[in-house]
């Protein structure tokens, strides 16, 4: 945290949040719907980084979606979009001859 130039008081706050994270509901309660929708998009991207969604990740995404009125059908479309983003990234790297490990698997799916 020192490398991130966090003030010492902020470091303690971050440590507490990492040790005892707040509930998802307590976080989304203080957000307006547009912020929740952006959080949903970003959470879907983040949850997909390892190539799969586990049950807890999907449950969290469903809770965020529900909190801002996004249906399960639309959430499914968001997850499809995330998958397409990964494919487009892999295809772009292939076009410039700079593939990453795993890109061929992403493009095949």
Spatial separation of the C-alpha atoms in residues 33 and 99, rounded to whole Å: 37
Spatial separation of the C-alpha atoms in residues 64 and 42, rounded to whole Å: 11
Q: What is the pLDDT of residues 36-75, one digit of tens each?
A: 999 999 999 999 998 889 999 999 999 999 999 999 999 9
Can you give the pTM of this predicted structure?
0.78
Q: What is the pLDDT of residues 14-40, one digit of tens each?
A: 888 889 888 999 999 989 999 999 999
Q: What is the pLDDT of residue 44?
A: 97
40 burial via Cβ count (<10 Å: 0-12, 13-18, 19+): buried
């Amino acid at each position: 945290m020192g490398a991130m130039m966090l003030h010492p008081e902020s470091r303690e706050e971050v440590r507490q949040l990492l040790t005892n994270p707040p509930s998802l509901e307590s976080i989304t309660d203080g957000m307006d719907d547009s912020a929740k929708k952006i959080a949903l998009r970003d959470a879907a991207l983040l949850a997909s980084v390892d190539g799969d969604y586990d049950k807890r990740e999907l449950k969290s995404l469903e809770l965020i979606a529900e909190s801002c009125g996004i249906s399960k059908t639309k959430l499914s479309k968001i997850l499809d979009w995330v998958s397409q983003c990964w494919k487009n990234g892999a295809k772009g790297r292939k076009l410039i001859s700079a593939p990453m490990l795993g890109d061929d698997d992403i493009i095949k799916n």
